[in-house]
A = this chain, B = another copy of it.
Amino acid sequence: MTTRKYNFNPGPATLPFESLQEAQKELLDYHGAGMSILEISHRSKEFEAILAETKSLMRKIMGIPDTYEILFLGGGASLQFTMVPMNFLTKDKKADYIITGSWSKKAHKEAKLFGQANVAATTEVDGKFRRIPKQSELKLDPGAEYVHLTSNNTIFGTQFQTFPNIGTKPLFADMSSDILSRRVDVTKFGMIYAGAQKNLGPAGVTVIILRKDLVSKIGANIPTLLDYRTHIEKDSLYNTPPVFPIYIMKLVLKWVDKQGGVDAVEKINNQKAEILYGSIDKYKDFYRSTVDTDSRSKMNVTFRLPSEELEKEFIDKGAANNFHGLKGHRSVGGIRVSMYNALPLEGIQKLTEFMKKFKESH
């Protein structure tokens, strides 16, 4: 086997190696069923148990009360950009969108098809975002059905450090890229949704956590598969769910639980951030952060080098040193270090050693 790389990809991303090993071990015969998990019916007792365990691990790890539904759907978080307004907006209704990057812009664009989607705040300057808006910048509409935000911005490297106070209106958050990375008070949210392919598992499944009292607010004439009620009524089994991605999510959640849950994982994420931002700050004339200090993401760290040539060299030398996926998103360039839960602390320690050497040799 090739040496396992430090995988700094923004998602799909690195997963716990022991979860992968477990999946490999039981791939041909799932728990003595005489068939692979890839062949097992979504209506089998085996998959029912997987679904129940995945859900109960989500509840336990995130502290999700019984007043919230948990759904596992296909289509990606991008489909939620449509499903959210399709369920909760109509032409005569309004919603507030806080724009902090590409994903929230996309979510806002979809909402405009269904109702009045206000921009409650945007931190865009010349097509770029380097910060999260302050509470005082939010222009909230008292008549809004919900307020939508993206908790972490993979492309621009910013993250809500605390969540805004929006009064009694439901807060809807796309947490695709930082779910399970830190303790979050779920009861502050009306809905949380997340594509799995960062902290939860592989691509192909999206988790929706929806406060039960909001179900009565869902409108009429929504296509069956895009109506949250369909999936609530059938416990995510209305149609065939993405069985294998859910199964891997179960293994990843078991790993998180074994680490000591979200608090233990958060502690390591804080250490990783301290080490990496520490290096950036120490060599700030060479590694230039693209993000305001009070908006720094602990999941995706973005920075520039003095020139594009140096950036290319950094990425190439990094790759030669087993550091994979350091290239920034094509729309912004530069360097991006994505360090989700399963990226070991050691990976960041070694990367910062490499950064020091690289800086000193230039």
Asked if residues A38 and B202 are in contact (CB atoms below 8 Å), the reply is yes
User: Can you tell how many copies of this chain the complex includes?
Assistant: 2
How many residues on A have C-beta within 8 angstroms of the other chain's C-beta atoms? Answer: 69
Q: Which residues of B contact A2 (CB under 8 A)?
A: 29, 32-34
Which residues of chain B come closer than 8 Å to A39, judged between CB atoms?
7, 9, 12-15, 20, 202
- Residue with the highest number of chain B CB atoms closer than 10 Å, among A1, A36, A224: A36
With a cutoff of 8 Å between Cβ atoms, the chain B residues found around residue A27 in the complex are 20, 23-24, 27
Given A203-B242, A225-B82: A36 and B9 within 8 A (CB)?
Answer: no
Q: Cβ of A79: which chain B residues have Cβ within 8 Å of it?
A: 74-75, 225-226
A106 to chain B, nearest CB (A): 7
State the majority secondary structure of interface residues on A. Answer: loop
Residues 311 to 328 of chain A near chain B (Cβ within 8 Å): 322, 324-325
The CA of A243 and the CA of B221, in the complex, are separated in Å by 32
Can you identify 30 A-B contacts, CB atoms within 8 angstroms? Answer: A2-B33, A2-B34, A5-B33, A5-B34, A7-B35, A9-B40, A12-B41, A12-B243, A14-B35, A15-B39, A20-B27, A20-B28, A20-B36, A23-B38, A35-B324, A38-B202, A39-B202, A41-B325, A75-B75, A76-B225, A78-B238, A78-B239, A79-B225, A82-B225, A110-B225, A195-B240, A203-B244, A204-B204, A204-B205, A245-B245
Interface residues of A (CB under 8 A from B): 1-5, 7, 9-15, 17, 20-21, 23-24, 27-29, 32-36, 38-42, 73-79, 81-82, 86, 106, 109-110, 113, 195, 197, 201-205, 221, 223-226, 238-245, 248, 322, 324-325
